[in-house]
A and B are shown apart, each in its own frame.
Chain A
Amino acid sequence: MRRLPPALLIGAALSAAFLAIAALSLVWTPHSVTGVSISERLQPPSAQYVLGTDQLGRDLASMLMVGAQTSIAVALIAVGIGIALGVPLGLAAAATRGSLLDEIIMRGNDLIFAFPSLVIAILITARYGPSATNAILAIGIFNIPVFARVARGGALPLWTLDYILAARTAGKGRVRISVEHILPNILNLLIVQATIQFSLGILAEAALSYVGLGAQPPVPSWGRMLAEAQTMIYSHPMLAILPGLAIVLMVLGLNLMGDGLRDALDPRLRRRRA
């Protein structure tokens, strides 16, 4: 067994910790995150409130736990949308390289790329109102062209290889070849891209909730916690530091894991290290 890169281990450990916290928050939190109690507001950390309370007397630790759940759910579904739509589009574009279909898919990609996810979110919100679902949609739409490009870029060089020609002489069609031969061989690219998009999704969700376009109260979210703490940043800095730190650590963990996976899965890099 060869040694895994340390970046991968650290990143995976951080990501797993956040996932575990989010999963735990589904069944148990120290306090209710909807229970407002003005008498308990802005408490310092204590045995009862491990990280203290916010301006409405809610337990900060519980808020952060449920916030992780919101962030991860939004980013995960958004990545899912990107993979589910982007990868087939990219494979189709590669399989029909140079055709009208390829041209339509890739120019469509360019069009979506021209709008940052924030602008798409504002567009969707203007029409349907702010919600976590709309944040997912906005981030998800932005993920589609990313995965389409990665899939197409990875697939194109494979299409020129002899084993694809051999599969064609075995009578296999483009769809079947894409699924049986191309997809397994670009899986490593997709996994790496998925971790990177996941971390970008966390950031995007935080940004959208920060400006009020993401999950709506009372659902806690790291971005909105930051926004609400802004006015008290000098008197109660921990209210802003803690959700900020959560975002940073989660994104750092995912990025480290993505880099580590790229090193571990890329056969060229692997050979150099061996």
Chain B
Amino acid sequence: MIGVENLSVAIHGTPILRGVSLQIAPGEVFGLVGESGSGKSMTALALMGLLPEGAEAGGEILIDGRDLMRNSEPDWCRVRGNDIGMIFQEPMTALNPVRTIGDQVAETLTIHGAAEPRAALEIARDRLDRVGLSHIGMDAYPHELSGGQRQRVCIAAAIALHPRLLIADEPTTALDVTTQAQILDLLSALVEEEGMGLLLITHDLGVVAGMADRIAVMRQGEIVETGPTAQVMAERNHPYTRALLAASSHVPERAAAQRPDPLLQVEDVRREYPGRREGFRRGPPIVAVDGVSFTLHEGESLGLVGESGCGKSTLTRAILGLDPVQGGDIRLFGRSIVPQMPREMRAGIQVVFQDPYGSFNPRWKVDRIVAEPFHLLDAPPRGSERHDRVAEALTAVHLSPDDMAKYPHEFSGGQRQRIAIARALITRPRIILLDEAVSALDVSVRARILDLLAELQDGFGLSYLFVSHDLTVVRAITDRVMVMQDGRFVETGETEAVFNDPQHEYTRALLAAAPRLDLAS
């Protein structure tokens, strides 16, 4: 048994964890669920003896009844990798870009003196085969692999010494749904074969519902509810568990009336990138969007779904008139925006991006940020009128007009996304493009932003093009959906029809891979 007993951690006097206890048995998958800041990653770091500087810990860290809390750093080094392995969210930064994957897996073995360098490489090969990379050479570098393959390398290194516990901190958050399903399958199989425990840390209830034996729900540094997965999911004793589950499958109420007038018509659009440079020549162009057509009607909410690299972002940028298209036509409000979007038309189509941290110039105050699209108007409002318009936009997204004088870093992720929506609203556009606009948010925040979007659609008569990889969200907020793969639409139709009865095999694969809450019951 590995676990923590009554663990508390404070950093510079601020309590981060309070009385956290959990035990993980060999061969068991333990799911630790919570939103950002709940302390789930800090629990994992405590288990690895990797608490940040300035942290004071109390309680016990137990491996087979032995307390490691007072371990010295050299003692911890023997535990890490040997007894406990760990994998992280971002497999690209978890691997050293200038060393081959074979070296990096073998390193775990040689550091712990478990094998001579030559033997270590052989074991590394064996471990890489085990995680499904038998077709990849030992001398491959991380950048040559896909995200899923990199995460497999991390797993191979983490299990090289057959640890008794594997900690996986958001192991699939950065991956596409189909890749996520494969990685989770691999982890399940490894738990069974190796008889090791798995501490699976995630914000996604769907992920743990499908594979954890027991779960614990964390909030503000405390475990609020714990027990066998099926039981917790069914009973939901703590109000926070109920709120979390409700938020994960939240469907906003939508009352917007649709009219059949086409606002945006995309006809056979083709988007190419220049090919890779080969000496002084360029290779054949890379086709990112390959002849797609669709129409967005007034008051409609249209979903665009696909995995990373399918061309949905490229298509988005073409529609916004940011990049030229190499073929086809895009008509906005009946006027063609190819090859160049007339400036005055930009006011009618605005965008909200994914990253609530990179969306604003950190040196600008909120009023200047929100008012930036006024640049599009021939006679931008000035003085008190400008002030009133910004205040109006902030009020519309349920922020206070007093927030105008603040800098973006003074807001939480959800509030920043509200600022981004206010900026998109300021020119009173008819279309708002939402590019993964809720993907980086916690589920409860996401639910409130979805409510806000539904409310604004009704109030301002907006049409949405909702671009996302998240099927649950797309299902909740769209009327029609388009599924994109390799630059083409493979399936389009009414959202409910597509989700209930997918016609194309890729749509079926996507839906099958998506984590589902109902699997636990």
Given the complex, which residues of A lie within 8 Å of B359, measured CB to CB? Answer: 162-163, 166
A residues 46-68 near B (Cβ < 8 Å) are: none
Which residues B273-296 have CB closer than 8 A to chain A? none
B407 CB within 8 Å of chain A: no
B351 touches A166 (CB 8 A): yes
Cβ proximity bits B399-439 to A, threshold 8 Å, 1 near / 0 not:
00000000000000000000010010000000000000000
Once the chains bind, are A165 and B353 in contact (CB under 8 Å)? yes
Q: Among the listed A163, A165, A170, which residue makes an inter-chain contact with B375, where contact means beta carbons less than 8 Å apart?
A: A170
Q: Kindly provide the distance from the CB of A146 to the nearest chain B CB, expressed in whole angstroms.
A: 24
Determine the main DSSP class of A at the interface with B.
helix
Could you say which residues of chain B place their CB within 8 Å of the CB of A185? 361-363
Determine if A171 and B355 form an interchain contact, defined as CB atoms under 8 angstroms apart. no
Closest A-chain residue to B433, C-beta based?
A169
Which B residues are in CB contact (< 8 Å) with A180?
361
- Interface 0/1 of B369-395, CB less than 8 Å to A: 000111110000000000000000000
A172 to B362, CA, bound (A): 18
List residues of chain B with CB within 8 A of the CB of A167. Answer: 372
User: Could you mark each residue 127-168 of chain B with 1 if its beta carbon is under 8 Å from any beta carbon of chain A, else 0?
Assistant: 000000000000000000000000000000000000000000
Q: How far is the CA of A165 from the CA of B376 in the complex (A)?
A: 14
> A162, B373: Cβ atoms under 8 Å?
no
Is B506 part of the contact surface with A, judged by Cβ < 8 Å?
A: no
B contact residues around A168 at 8 Å (CB): 320, 322
User: Taking the complex as formed, is B82 at the interface, i.e. its CB lies under 8 A from any CB of chain A?
Assistant: no
Q: Cβ of B317: which chain A residues have Cβ within 8 Å of it?
A: 165
Set B354, B358, B360, B372: member contacting A170, Cβ < 8 A: B372
With CB as the reference atom, state the residue of chain A lying closest to B343.
Answer: A171
Chain B, interface size category, equals: 20 to 34
Q: Complex Cα distance A185/B362, Å?
A: 8
Produce 1/0 per residue, B321-352, CB < 8 A to A: 01000000000000000000001001101110
Minimum CB distance partner of A167 in chain B: B372
**Contact call A169/B362, Cβ cutoff below 8 A:** no
Which of B343, B349, B354, B372 is A166 in contact with, Cβ under 8 Å?
Answer: B372
* Cβ 8 A contact of A169, one of B320, B354, B361: B320
Q: Are B322 and A169 in contact (CB under 8 A)?
A: yes
Q: Which residues of chain B have C-beta atoms less than 8 A from A172's C-beta?
A: 372, 375
| B275 shortest CB reach to chain A, Å | 13
In chain A, what residue has the closest Cβ to B427?
Answer: A170
Residues of chain B within 8 A of A166, CB atoms compared: 351, 353, 359-360, 372, 420, 423
Interface size on A, residues (CB 8 A): 15
Q: Does A184 contact B (CB under 8 A)?
A: yes
Query: How far does the Cβ of A174 sit from chain B's closest Cβ, in whole Å?
Result: 12
Most buried by A among B361, B374, B376: B361
Bound CA–CA A161/B361 (angstroms): 9
- A181 at the B interface (CB under 8 A): yes
A181 and B360 alpha carbons, distance in the complex (Å): 10
Q: Are B375 and A162 in contact (CB under 8 A)?
A: no
**Which residues of the partner chain B approach A184 to less than 8 Å between Cβ atoms?**
361, 363
Q: How far is the CB of B9 from chain A (nearest CB, A)?
A: 19
Contact of A171 among B354, B360, B376 (CB under 8 A): B376
Shortest distance between the CB of B111 and any CB in chain A (Å): 27
Q: Choose one: A161, A169, A171, A181; the contact of B351 (CB below 8 Å).
A: A169
How distant is A81 from chain B, measured CB to nearest CB, in Å? Answer: 27
CA distance A183 to B248 in the complex (A): 41
- With a CB–CB cut-off of 8 A, which chain A residues contact B354? 162
A41 to chain B, nearest CB (A): 58
In the bound complex, how far is the Cα of B369 from the Cα of A163, in angstroms? 9
Minimum CB–CB distance from A45 to chain B (whole Å) comes to: 52
Q: How far is the CB of B66 from chain A (nearest CB, A)?
A: 34
User: Which residue of chain B is the closest to A187 with respect to CB atoms?
Assistant: B363
Interface string of A149-175 (1 = CB under 8 A from B): 000000000000111011111111000
* Cβ contacts under 8 Å, A169 to chain B: 320, 322, 346, 349-351, 373
In whole angstroms, how far apart are the Cα atoms of A167 and B375 in the complex?
9
> A168 to B423, alpha carbons, bound, how many Å?
13
Bound Cα distance from A153 to B317, whole angstroms: 24
A181 to B343, CA, bound (A): 20
Taking a contact as CB atoms under 8 Å apart, the answer to whether B322 and A161 are in contact is no
State in angstroms the CA–CA spacing of A155 and B358 once bound together: 15
What's the Cα separation between A162 and B361 when bound, in Å?
Answer: 9
The distance in angstroms between the C-alpha atoms of A122 and B486, with both chains bound, is 60
Give 1 or 0 for each of A166-201: 1 = CB within 8 Å of chain B CB: 111111100000001100110000000000000000
Shortest Cβ distance from residue B462 to the other chain A in the assembled complex, whole angstroms = 16
- Residue with the greatest number of chain B CB neighbours at <10 A, chosen from A163, A167, A184: A163
20 interchain pairs (CB within 8 A)?
A162-B358, A163-B358, A165-B322, A166-B351, A166-B353, A166-B360, A166-B423, A169-B320, A169-B322, A169-B373, A170-B374, A170-B376, A171-B343, A171-B373, A171-B375, A171-B376, A172-B372, A172-B375, A184-B363, A185-B361
Q: Which A residues contact B (CB, under 8 angstroms)?
A: 161-163, 165-172, 180-181, 184-185
Given contacts A163-B359, A166-B353, A168-B322, 13 further A-B contacts (CB under 8 A): A162-B353, A163-B358, A165-B317, A165-B320, A165-B322, A165-B353, A166-B423, A168-B320, A169-B351, A170-B374, A170-B376, A171-B343, A171-B347
- Interface pairs A-B: 6 shortest CB-CB: A162-B353, A170-B373, A171-B376, A162-B359, A162-B358, A170-B372
